[in-house]
Amino acid sequence: MTTLNIDSLSVTLGGNSILSDVSFTLPRGEIVGLIGPNGAGKSTAIKAILGLVGRTTGTATVNDTDIAVMEPRTRAKTLAYVPQGAPVHWPLTAERTVALGRVPHLTPWQVLGPADDAAIKGAMQKTDCLEFKDRLVTTLSGGERARVLLARTLAVGADFILADEPIAALDPMHQLQVMDILKAEAANGTGVLVVMHDLGLAMRTCDKLVLLHETKVLAAGVPNDVLTDTNLKTAFGVEVSRWQDGMNFLVPKRVVE
Q: How far is 9 from 165, CA to CA, in rounded Å? A: 21
- Of 149, 159, 47, 135, the closest CA to residue 100 belongs to 149
Q: How far is 66 from 64, CA to CA, in rounded Å? A: 6
For residue 220, the one-letter residue type is A
- Across 209-242, b (16+ Cβ under 10 Å) vs e yields bbbbbebbbbbbeebeebbeeebbebbbebebee
For 145-201, how does the pLDDT look when each residue is reduced to its tens digit (9 = 90+)? Answer: 889 999 999 999 999 999 999 998 789 998 999 999 999 999 999 999 999 999 999
pTM as predicted: 0.94
CATH number at residue 134: 3.40.50.300
For residue 63, the one-letter residue type is N
Grade residue 248 by pLDDT with cuts at 50, 70 and 90.
Answer: confident
Range of the domain at 48: 3-255
Average pLDDT over residues 187-216: 96
Q: How many domains would you assign to the chain? A: 1
- Of 181, 204, 200, 177, the closest CA to residue 192 belongs to 181
Grade residue 243 by pLDDT with cuts at 50, 70 and 90.
Answer: confident
